[in-house]
Amino acid sequence: MLSQLRRIVQDVAQEPALDNALAGLVSSIKTALATECCSVYLADYQQQHFMLMATDGLNQDAVGKVAIGFSEGLIGWVGQREEPINLAQAHRHPRFRVTPEVSEDRFSAFLGCPIIHHRKVLGVLTIQQSAERVFSEDEESFLVTLGAQLASVLANAEMRDAASQSPSTMAKSGQLSGLPGAPGMAIGEAYVLQPSSDFDAISLKKSDEPEKELALFYRAVKITKAEFNRLAERMAGHIPADALAIFDVYHQLLDAASLGQEIELQIAEGWCAKSALKRVVEKFARQFDDMDDPYLRERGTDIRDLGQRVLNNLLDSEQRKVKLPQQVVLVADNVTATMLAEVPREQLVAIVSLRGSVNSHAAIMARALGIPAVMGVNELPLLHWQNQQVIVDGYEGHILLSPVEAICAEYRRLINEDAELSARYQQEVALPSQSACGKPFKLMVNCGLAIELETSNAEYTDGVGLYRTEFPFIMRNRFPTEQEQVELYQKVLSGYADKAVVMRTLDVGGDKALPYFSIIEENPFLGWRGIRLTLDHPEIFLVQIRAMLKANIGLDNLHILLPMISDLAEVDEAIRLIRQASFEVSDELNIALPKPKIGVMIEVPSIMYQLPELAARVDFCSVGTNDLTQYLLAVDRNNARVANLYDALHPSVLRALHQLSEQARQLQFPISICGELGGEPAGVLVLAAMGYSRFSMNNSNLAKIKWLLRRVKVAELEAILPDVLACQSPKQVKQLVQRFLEQKQLLSQLRA
């Protein structure tokens, strides 16, 4: 059953035309369930009806013509109830509607199952039979499972169909929705970067230049064979000789007499090289998948691995051919720091990440660079984006593909308005950071990504509240040496001489992966990350601390911050290692070193309850609201599927933050905010109302936040605090802050 299911879903995913995919789908289901009829209806939300798209059993002439209203008949009922309906005598059911065009009189039994993607009903699958019987539980669960798996494939297929239409049609239908990742709007050309290729992302395409495609394929095979030779040489002596034989097998498979020949035939039939490769690899891999012998089944994996390598090399040559547009909208499955580094800053106008959400690091990086970003736009496969003109609206999380000129003109007007507002904030950037009633605030910057950019406002800030040291680690292909780190840290410390610079020790793991130190875990956010990893690797931790201490000589503005602390023993061990590094450096250079202040990040809920013990051990703490929200709400900050649940303005998060500020005040324990919440207008107002006065944020937000704080009085904020804390949902909190801003006539000036 499982392999049948898998095959049906794969067949649909592989077929380039939606009509053909659905026609194949209904026939496969009919055969798999040995039933008499299977049909699929797709929802049309503009027309408010389900259209019969394919059938094997009903009248073929009705396909594409029979539409059933959302509130009509059994199909409409399945859609409304969003659950399967299983009836022995469908025609007796009060919701049954006679539709003569489909000729279904001979059928009695009916099982309808909704196809739902992201809570939206995309369509209905039905099976019918003449016998008066209720379909079995097995049949029902087969259809439900299939419906669930098909949902994302169909969502993709629909977008694929839309994308292949003319640009003017796309202007009407080509709006994609994602999640707002970084504010701002931009117009540019999509430039797709892929870290590694994925067969799922390849949509099948024909080409009318078979010779060119064949040449591309031969070239990719040549490179792949050379790679295998290198790999085999490197492995020789490390793995048994018989295991090395796999490379010979790969060579043979690529030869003209084997898979190679099949691929050449597909190219001759008109498929482009990538499509030919995908079709052949998937066909053979599936044949092996279905074999009973476990050894032979494994060969399916080998074929996929081999295909993947050839595909990488095919895409590589393709990517090299693509010229970087003037205004780059960087599109990737998951945007990484290294990808950002590949595009010159002056050409990069926006970022679109198919995966991730508002608080994943791609979004944080975009905000740090002041570039609009939309996250989690996974409806359209990666390769469909290449070279399309794109409008990115990072406020709303919308994308417009190939928009008409009138829409572009409207967005250009909005972009200009935005620039005027930014200029207005910038005019006050040199004025003191204080409220309208004179209460001083400390506004610091979060940095680590592009030091030149991040020191540009240095004189108007109160220093660096969070230097994320992992970004320089991520950009390399090995751990940076102690000397490389010293030079890097010196730039930051001297860029902010006389101001505090809070440097966080390496915080990798979770969604921050080092390309050269892979951590594969089932649940990485609850796993080996931050301080847990570095305490297990004192050789990494000590080198980093030594580099920080050396860079601090003569400047004395270093503060060290420990990430992901969940237990006091971790603090004690980290302090011990910092002391050890300090002795070593002092000994090596024969000088007395300045003693940096040490702080702890409050981002794991457990440590919130040990604040007195923490205050007795370290000099300060800094609240990482990004992770604290993720851990308090049990919502992965990187997962677009649950992004609607991730909200730092959730009443529980706000109550936790209030409790923290109260306790820190009683303990006289210096506390600051370095998560994204402190750089957002609603967030900073609520936090200031709680008594927080030190905020570290992206450079691009600082002028706006200063402008805002200078226009409110602390007493006004304190007055709304009880109502904020009594809110029952993030939405209520936002409405409350919005009302406050409206009353103060500030709302319209906060964004375009």
Active site residues: 361, 674
What is the identity of the amino acid at 640? A
Residue 468 or 550: the one with the smaller Cβ distance to ligand PEP is 468
Element (H, E) at 9: helix 2-14
d(CA 106, CA 81): 26
CB of 626 to ligand PEP, least distance (A): 3
CB of 523 to ligand PEP, least distance (A): 16
Q: Which residue is nearest to ligand PEP (CB)?
A: 624
Using CA atoms, how far residue 222 sits from 215, 248, 322, in Å, is 11, 14, 21
Interaction of residue 56 with Mg ion, rule CB under 5 A: no
Residue among 454, 570, 603, 680 that touches Mg ion (CB under 5 A): 603
Draw the binding track, 606-635, toward ligand PEP (x: CB under 6 A; -: no contact): ------------------xxxx--------
**DSSP helix/strand/coil, 715:** helix
652, 633 Cβ separation under 8 angstroms: yes
Interaction of residue 627 with Mg ion, rule CB under 5 A: yes
CB of 690 to ligand PEP, least distance (A): 17
Using CA atoms, how far residue 104 sits from 10, 101, 111, 135, 143, in Å, is 29, 9, 14, 17, 20
CB of 679 to ligand PEP, least distance (A): 10
> Among ligand PEP, Mg ion, none, what does residue 681 contact (CB within 5–8 Å per kind)?
none
Using CA atoms, how far residue 454 sits from 601, 622, 698, in Å, is 22, 20, 8
379, 146 Cβ separation under 8 angstroms: no
> Among ligand PEP, Mg ion, none, what does residue 625 contact (CB within 5–8 Å per kind)?
ligand PEP
CB of 620 to ligand PEP, least distance (A): 15
Residue 624 or 681: the one with the smaller Cβ distance to Mg ion is 624
Residue in 572, 564, 629, 635 with CA at minimum distance from that of residue 600: 564
d(CA 255, CA 251): 6
Residue among 84, 114, 188, 624 that touches Mg ion (CB under 5 A): 624
217, 268 Cβ separation under 8 angstroms: no
> Among ligand PEP, Mg ion, none, what does residue 562 contact (CB within 5–8 Å per kind)?
none
Footprint (CB under 6 A) of ligand PEP, residues 347-386: 364
Residue 185 or 358: the one with the smaller Cβ distance to ligand PEP is 358
505, 565 Cβ separation under 8 angstroms: no
> Among Mg ion, ligand PEP, none, what does residue 674 contact (CB within 5–8 Å per kind)?
ligand PEP
CB of 673 to ligand PEP, least distance (A): 9
440, 431 Cβ separation under 8 angstroms: no
> Among ligand PEP, Mg ion, none, what does residue 56 contact (CB within 5–8 Å per kind)?
none
Residue in 500, 514, 512, 493 with CA at minimum distance from that of residue 451: 493
Angle 303-306-311 (CA atoms, 0-180°, nearest 5)?
120
CB of 526 to Mg ion, least distance (A): 13
Interaction of residue 529 with ligand PEP, rule CB under 6 A: no
Using CA atoms, how far residue 482 sits from 67, 487, 533, 562, in Å, is 69, 9, 18, 19
CB of 625 to ligand PEP, least distance (A): 5
Residue 264 or 627: the one with the smaller Cβ distance to Mg ion is 627
Using the rule CB under 5 A, give the single segment among 36-44, 74-82, 393-401, 603-611 that binds Mg ion. 603-611
**DSSP helix/strand/coil, 91:** helix
Residue 278 or 468: the one with the smaller Cβ distance to ligand PEP is 468
The residues, any chain, with a CB within 8 Å of residue 638's CB and separated by 6 or more, are 355, 356, 357, 359, 360, 510, 511, 525
> Among ligand PEP, Mg ion, none, what does residue 281 contact (CB within 5–8 Å per kind)?
none
Residue 447 or 689: the one with the smaller Cβ distance to ligand PEP is 447
Binding footprint of Mg ion, residue count (CB under 5 A): 3
Using the rule CB under 5 A, give the single segment among 486-494, 580-588, 601-609, 658-666 that binds Mg ion. 601-609
Using CA atoms, how far residue 109 sits from 90, 145, 544, in Å, is 6, 20, 70
Element (H, E) at 223: helix 210-235
Residue 121 or 601: the one with the smaller Cβ distance to ligand PEP is 601
366, 373 Cβ separation under 8 angstroms: yes
Interaction of residue 184 with Mg ion, rule CB under 5 A: no
Using the rule CB under 5 A, give the single segment among 46-54, 466-474, 600-608, 722-730 that binds Mg ion. 600-608
Residue 184 or 678: the one with the smaller Cβ distance to ligand PEP is 678
What DSSP string describes 33-78? Answer: TT-SEEEEEEEETTTTEEEEEEEESS-GGGTTT-EEETTSHHHHHH
d(CA 387, CA 323): 10
As given in the structure block, the two tokens for residue 125 are 């699958």
> Among Mg ion, ligand PEP, none, what does residue 636 contact (CB within 5–8 Å per kind)?
none
Draw the binding track, 546-585, toward Mg ion (x: CB under 5 A; -: no contact): ----------------------------------------
Residue 123 or 356: the one with the smaller Cβ distance to ligand PEP is 356
CB of 499 to ligand PEP, least distance (A): 19
> Among Mg ion, ligand PEP, none, what does residue 699 contact (CB within 5–8 Å per kind)?
none
Residue in 642, 726, 721 with CA at minimum distance from that of residue 685: 721
CB of 502 to Mg ion, least distance (A): 13
> Among Mg ion, ligand PEP, none, what does residue 468 contact (CB within 5–8 Å per kind)?
ligand PEP
d(CA 503, CA 494): 13
CB of 627 to ligand PEP, least distance (A): 3
d(CA 186, CA 414): 10
CB of 221 to Mg ion, least distance (A): 45
Q: Which residue is nearest to Mg ion (CB)?
A: 627
What is the identity of the amino acid at 258? S
Residue 194 or 359: the one with the smaller Cβ distance to Mg ion is 359
Footprint (CB under 6 A) of ligand PEP, residues 428-487: 466, 468
Interaction of residue 114 with Mg ion, rule CB under 5 A: no
Using the rule CB under 5 A, give the single segment among 48-56, 61-69, 134-142, 626-634 that binds Mg ion. 626-634
Interaction of residue 675 with ligand PEP, rule CB under 6 A: yes
Interaction of residue 603 with ligand PEP, rule CB under 6 A: yes
The residues, any chain, with a CB within 8 Å of residue 353's CB and separated by 6 or more, are 181, 331, 332, 333, 334, 335, 360, 362, 363, 373, 374, 375, 376, 377
| Tokens 């099948």 belong to residue | 204
Burial of 707 (C-beta count, 10 Å sphere; 0-12/13-18/19+): buried
CB of 562 to ligand PEP, least distance (A): 12
| Tokens 């798996």 belong to residue | 149
Binding footprint of ligand PEP, residue count (CB under 6 A): 11
Residue in 638, 151, 162 with CA at minimum distance from that of residue 353: 638
Residue 28 or 696: the one with the smaller Cβ distance to ligand PEP is 696
> Among Mg ion, ligand PEP, none, what does residue 57 contact (CB within 5–8 Å per kind)?
none
Residue 112 or 624: the one with the smaller Cβ distance to ligand PEP is 624
Residue 122 or 466: the one with the smaller Cβ distance to ligand PEP is 466
Interaction of residue 674 with ligand PEP, rule CB under 6 A: yes
Using CA atoms, how far residue 291 sits from 14, 295, 451, in Å, is 21, 9, 56
Footprint (CB under 6 A) of ligand PEP, residues 66-95: none
As given in the structure block, the two tokens for residue 195 are 């870290």
Contact positions vs ligand PEP (CB under 6 A): 364, 466, 468, 507, 603, 624-627, 674-675
Contact positions vs Mg ion (CB under 5 A): 603, 624, 627
